[in-house]
Amino acid sequence: MQAVNDTDITVLLREIASGRAGALDDLLPVVYDQLKSLAHRRLTREYDPSTLATTGLVHEAYLKLVGNADRIDWKDRNHFYAVASRAMRQVLVGRAIARKAIKRGNSAERVSVDDFIPMSEDRADELIALDEGLGELSKFNPRVAHIVDLRYFGGFSISEVADILGVSEATVNRDWRVARVWLFDFMKGVPA
């Protein structure tokens, strides 16, 4: 297979936005390995990783992306991967919420990734609190919240986040420190 460059992804994203039939089908093979790498990095940090778990998370996140692809003004590959990390966050948080609802005896539809990503009750609570904290943080500092999304849920490095956001690595490092302190304080105050 021919190496794919950033321009190829950007062209496909613009074709999706313009409504070209088949553009979504063309995109998945181009971005699949990178999405799988992002999912694997994320799952390796928090869960018991396996190829199936990584694949399940990628598929669930991609389905979210496909559902909204024609409503997003895709800028470039960095924008795509930033949105993909947010989709992975939504899948994992949705799974944590469903797990809590099932434990309380409520009926909740389980997503397929649920069967492959083991999550303790404490981890589910922490993930839900983190999601709530990011929601609050994004109200007054969206860039800092976005950095957490990219670092924590997307597994991007400091330099990758700087590239995606078009800011310096020093800015990302500073904002990352601020975010961790703010979220730690927020999560201490969230009732379990």
pLDDT computed for residue 141 by the predictor:
93
**What's this model's pTM, rounded to 2 decimal places?**
0.65
Instruction: Match 């074709």 to its residue by tokens.
Output: 15
What are the residue boundaries of the structural domains of the chain, listed by start?
6-188
pLDDT computed for residue 46 by the predictor:
56
**pLDDT above 60 for 15:** yes
pLDDT computed for residue 115 by the predictor:
41
The per-residue pLDDT for range 106-137, each reduced to its tens digit, is 544 444 433 444 455 567 788 888 889 999 99
Cα 38 to Cα 85: distance, rounded to the nearest angstrom: 8
The DSSP annotation for the chain comes to -PPP-HHHHHHHHHHHHHT-TTHHHHHHHHHHHHHHHHHHHHHHHHS---HHHHHHHHHHHHHHHHHHGGGS----HHHHHHHHHHHHHHHHHHHHHHHHHHHTT---PPPGGGGTS---HHHHHHHHHHHHHHHHHHHH-HHHHHHHIIIIIT---HHHHHHHHTS-HHHHHHHHHHHHHHHHHHHHTS--
